[in-house]
């Protein structure tokens, strides 16, 4: 049976990383009122939904993904009134707002963990405790078990030791989480992005983590307790599960989640099995095969979130694009991803062509994962330069530098030195000059997102890849009823052959303005275009 399309299937979502978006009180840290002051900018891009990375009370060991109180706002971001004001203003602009929900783990400063450490009867089983550690590694490096002196036992953490995993097998804990989630929904927010939600069904002793044996059971219970019958959207971050499983969990017959972030296309510049720091060049054919598989698997079955960057990934521009053709590649990558079926997610700054950074000094990095891996690899005997090469490419701080609003000091993000250095290219890459220049990445995004909404084919159409084995361009057809569109995306710095001769077409959007295709059999470097086939 076909999937029914709801508002969130056609929405465009914009991810905000609050620390780095806009500082309203000049303390060098982005905040909620800063976001409110930029709602018109976001709206002008064609955004329907804002996703806020965590703003809850937190010691900020993992920038807010370590929550110490789910019901409070971290004062560095503002207060509950500021948030209510943001929700109200977002709605007044005709947009919706979803919050991050981090329920696989909390901070070690959460009162539940403090009580659990003390073996308090009511909380002792809120976390995962064992007498002996196993050989499981945490995702940030090092053991996943840390010894607790107070309790004389080890606790389990798949991320930093300051982020103990919750014990989802405890029904009392689950109910307490559901109550908290419902309180947030009653504030009028429009849904959640669920952090590493594929991990909640784990069996620690059996070493089954992502996609664990209890995942469906707990997702179903969560859905019934909190989401059923409400007009909200849920998007599950599920880095560890297969494409098939992600599609199954977002199928409306088993309505666990409305859509999935699955990561099959993300790690293609890593040596398989060796983790994110072991680099390899992207193989375009592998990327095409992956997306082909994703698009076929989700079609009429589940719903996929379309994304290339987020706060955990280096910005895609210089990851899969070209330093020689930055503008063309930024537009091409957007065309490639947003031409597909799914809900588009834009990570702040992608729409103005922001790039990653490469600090020489490891001390300029703020990210816990980056710092941790540096220490681990130094201890293992790796050379500083080799580690830094990986960090320059893959550190999460690549995407976390402050948003570049204009050419003023600190890129207009703040008047105070920011918590993380601004990328020094802010004078040439910023929102202000993007808005002023009609040919900018920003205006291209705007046009592309509008086009998606104007033509049903992007929501409903099927996906057919063209020349799967061609290593230079990624092109595909989208077809719906009697309409057919061709999306062409070049990944080459050279002019490449392309066979146009068999079709009549009209160019709807392109990153080169002045190409007359009539007699042409080639596409220019990093070309992107969407063509309507037929008269
Ligand atoms: C995924 C989040 O996106 C990331 O930033 C965080 O470090 C881990 N989950 C742990 O919460």
Top CATH class, 8-104+171-356+400-444: alpha beta
- Ligand 1 atom with the shortest distance to the CA of 105: 11
How large is the average pLDDT for residues 492-507?
Answer: 87
Conformational region of residue 218, where left means phi above 0, alpha means psi within -120 to 50, and beta covers everything else: alpha
Q: Which of 54, 58, 102, 305 to mutate to test ligand 1, by most ligand atoms within 8 A of the CB atom?
A: 102
Cβ 62 under 6 angstroms from ligand 1: yes
Q: Above 60 in pLDDT, residue 77?
A: yes
The closest residue, in CA terms, to atom 11 on ligand 1 is 65
Q: Do the beta carbons of residue 374 and residue 324 sit within 8 Å?
A: no
Name the catalytic one among 66, 108, 162, 195. 195
How large is the average pLDDT for residues 130-145?
Answer: 95
Nearest to 62 by CA among 374, 421, 371, 349: 371
How large is the average pLDDT for residues 33-47?
Answer: 98
Determine the 3-state secondary structure of 304 from DSSP.
strand
CB count in 10 Å sphere of residue 278: 13
Q: How far, in Å, is the centroid of ligand 1 from the Cα of 161? A: 13
Active site residue 237: yes
How large is the average pLDDT for residues 145-166?
Answer: 98
Can you name the CATH fold of 462-533? Immunoglobulin-like (2.60.40)
Cβ 419 under 6 angstroms from ligand 1: no
Going by C-beta distance under 8 Å and a sequence separation of 6 or more, which residues neighbour residue 302?
Answer: 3, 246, 247, 248, 249, 250, 251, 259, 260
Q: How far, in Å, is the centroid of ligand 1 from the Cα of 474? A: 30
Active site residue 369: no
- Ligand 1 atom with the shortest distance to the CA of 140: 7
The closest residue, in CA terms, to atom 8 on ligand 1 is 65
Token reading at 379: 């201890």
Token reading at 128: 């995962």
Q: Above 60 in pLDDT, residue 247?
A: yes
Q: How far, in Å, is the centroid of ligand 1 from the Cα of 430? A: 27
Mean of per-residue pLDDT scores for the chain? 96
φ, ψ for residue 350, nearest 5 deg: -60, -35
- Ligand 1 atom with the shortest distance to the CA of 63: 5
Going by C-beta distance under 8 Å and a sequence separation of 6 or more, which residues neighbour residue 498?
Answer: 473, 475, 488, 521, 522, 523
Question: Which pLDDT score, from 0 to 100, does residue 518 have?
Answer: 64
Name the catalytic one among 237, 312, 350, 397. 237
How large is the average pLDDT for residues 293-309?
Answer: 97
- Ligand 1 atom with the shortest distance to the CA of 66: 11
- Ligand 1 atom with the shortest distance to the CA of 62: 7
Domain boundaries of the chain, sorted by first residue: 8-104+171-356+400-444, 111-156, 358-399, 462-533
Q: Above 70 in pLDDT, residue 281?
A: yes
The closest residue, in CA terms, to atom 6 on ligand 1 is 65
Q: Do the beta carbons of residue 335 and residue 509 sit within 8 Å?
A: yes
Q: How far, in Å, is the centroid of ligand 1 from the Cα of 117? A: 23
Cβ 190 under 6 angstroms from ligand 1: no
Q: Above 60 in pLDDT, residue 1?
A: no
Q: In this structure, which long-range contacts are made by residues 68-76, counting pairs with CB atoms below 8 Å and at least 24 apart in sequence?
A: 68/106, 68/107, 68/109, 68/110, 68/111, 69/110, 69/111, 70/180, 70/184, 71/180, 71/183, 73/32, 76/27, 76/29, 76/31
φ, ψ for residue 282, nearest 5 deg: -70, 135
| pLDDT, tens only, 399-449 | 999 999 999 999 999 999 999 999 999 999 999 999 999 999 999 999 999
- Ligand 1 atom with the shortest distance to the CA of 368: 7
How large is the average pLDDT for residues 123-133?
Answer: 98
Q: Do the beta carbons of residue 20 and residue 402 sit within 8 Å?
A: yes
Cβ 102 under 6 angstroms from ligand 1: yes
Q: Above 60 in pLDDT, residue 173?
A: yes
Q: How far, in Å, is the centroid of ligand 1 from the Cα of 97? A: 20
**Percent of residues, the chain, with pLDDT higher than 90:** 93
Nearest to 425 by CA among 455, 454, 445, 404: 404
Cβ 51 under 6 angstroms from ligand 1: no
Q: Which pLDDT band holds residue 2 (cuts at 50, 70, 90)?
A: low
- Ligand 1 atom with the shortest distance to the CA of 312: 5
Q: How far, in Å, is the centroid of ligand 1 from the Cα of 497? A: 42
How large is the average pLDDT for residues 260-284?
Answer: 92
- Rg of the chain's alpha carbons, rounded to an integer? 23
| pLDDT, tens only, 211-244 | 899 999 999 999 999 999 999 999 999 999 999 9
Q: Above 90 in pLDDT, residue 288?
A: yes
Q: Above 50 in pLDDT, residue 510?
A: yes
DSSP for 460-488 reads H-EEEEE-TT-SSEEEEEEEETTEEEEEE
Cβ 312 under 6 angstroms from ligand 1: yes
Q: How far, in Å, is the centroid of ligand 1 from the Cα of 237? A: 9
Q: 533 pairs with which residues across the strands? A: 505
Q: Which of 56, 159, 162, 366 to mutate to test ligand 1, by most ligand atoms within 8 A of the CB atom?
A: 159
Cβ 55 under 6 angstroms from ligand 1: no
Q: Do the beta carbons of residue 203 and residue 227 sit within 8 Å?
A: no
Q: Do the beta carbons of residue 18 and residue 35 sit within 8 Å?
A: yes
Question: Which pLDDT score, from 0 to 100, does residue 449 have?
Answer: 98
Question: Which pLDDT score, from 0 to 100, does residue 82 have?
Answer: 98
Q: How far, in Å, is the centroid of ligand 1 from the Cα of 324? A: 32
| pLDDT, tens only, 519-534 | 678 999 999 999 999 8
Lowest mean pLDDT segment, chosen from 96-110, 181-195, 250-264, 442-456: 250-264
111-156 carries CATH number 2.40.30.30? no
Residue 376 to residue 277: CA distance in whole angstroms: 12
Q: How far, in Å, is the centroid of ligand 1 from the Cα of 321? A: 25
Helices (H), 346-419: 368-379, 384-394
Residue 412 to residue 414: CA distance in whole angstroms: 6
């Amino acid at each position: 049976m076909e999937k029914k399309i709801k508002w969130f299937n056609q929405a465009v979502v914009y991810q905000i990383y609050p620390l780095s978006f806009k500082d309203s009180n000049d303390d060098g840290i982005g905040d909620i009122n800063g976001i409110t002051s930029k709602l018109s900018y976001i709206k002008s891009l064609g955004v329907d939904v804002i996703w806020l990375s965590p703003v809850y009370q937190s010691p900020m060991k993992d920038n807010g993904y370590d929550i110490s109180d789910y019901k409070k706002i971290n004062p560095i971001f503002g207060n509950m009134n500021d948030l209510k004001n943001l929700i109200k203003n977002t709605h007044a602009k005709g947009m919706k707002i979803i919050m991050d929900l981090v329920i696989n783990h909390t901070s070690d400063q959460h009162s539940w963990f403090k009580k659990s450490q003390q073996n308090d009867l009511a909380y002792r089983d809120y976390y995962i405790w064992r007498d002996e550690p196993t050989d499981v590694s945490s995702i940030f490096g090092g053991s996943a078990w840390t010894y607790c002196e107070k309790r004389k036992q080890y606790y389990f953490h798949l991320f930093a030791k300051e982020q103990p995993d919750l014990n989802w097998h405890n029904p009392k804990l689950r109910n307490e989480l559901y109550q908290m989630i419902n309180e947030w929904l009653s504030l009028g927010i429009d849904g959640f992005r669920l952090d590493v939600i594929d991990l909640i069904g784990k069996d620690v002793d059996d070493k089954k983590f992502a996609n664990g044996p209890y995942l469906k059971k707990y997702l179903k219970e969560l859905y019934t307790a909190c989401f059923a019958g409400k007009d909200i959207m849920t998007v599950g971050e599920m880095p560890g599960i297969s494409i098939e499983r992600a599609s199954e969990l977002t199928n409306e017959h088993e309505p666990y989640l409305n859509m999935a972030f699955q990561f099959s296309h993300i790690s293609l510049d890593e040596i398989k099995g060796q983790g994110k720091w072991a680099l390899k060049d992207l193989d375009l054919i592998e990327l095409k095969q992956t997306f082909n598989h994703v698009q076929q698997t989700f079609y009429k079955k589940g719903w996929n979130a379309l994304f290339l960057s987020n706060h955990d990934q280096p910005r895609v521009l210089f990851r899969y694009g070209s330093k020689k053709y930055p503008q063309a590649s930024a537009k091409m990558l957007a065309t490639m991803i947003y031409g597909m079926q799914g809900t588009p997610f834009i990570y702040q700054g992608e729409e103005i062509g922001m790039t990653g950074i490469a600090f020489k000094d490891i001390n300029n990095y703020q990210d816990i994962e980056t710092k941790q891996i540096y220490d681990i690899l130094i201890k293992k005997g790796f050379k500083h330069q080799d580690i830094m090469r990986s960090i320059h490419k893959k550190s999460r701080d690549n995407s976390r530098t402050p948003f570049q609003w204009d050419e003023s000091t600190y890129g207009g993000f703040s008047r105070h030195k920011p918590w993380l250095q601004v990328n020094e290219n802010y004078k040439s890459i910023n929102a202000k000059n993007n808005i002023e220049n009609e040919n900018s990445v920003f205006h291209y995004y705007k046009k592309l997102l509008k086009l998606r909404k104007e033509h049903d084919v992007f929501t409903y159409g099927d996906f057919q890849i063209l020349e799967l084995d061609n290593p230079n361009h990624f092109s595909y057809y989208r077809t719906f009823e009697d309409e057919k569109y061709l999306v062409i995306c070049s990944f080459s710095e050279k002019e490449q052959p392309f066979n146009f001769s068999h079709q009549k077409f009209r160019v709807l959007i392109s990153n080169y303005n002045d190409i007359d295709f009539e007699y042409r059999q080639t596409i220019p470097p990093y070309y992107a275009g969407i063509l309507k086939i037929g008269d």
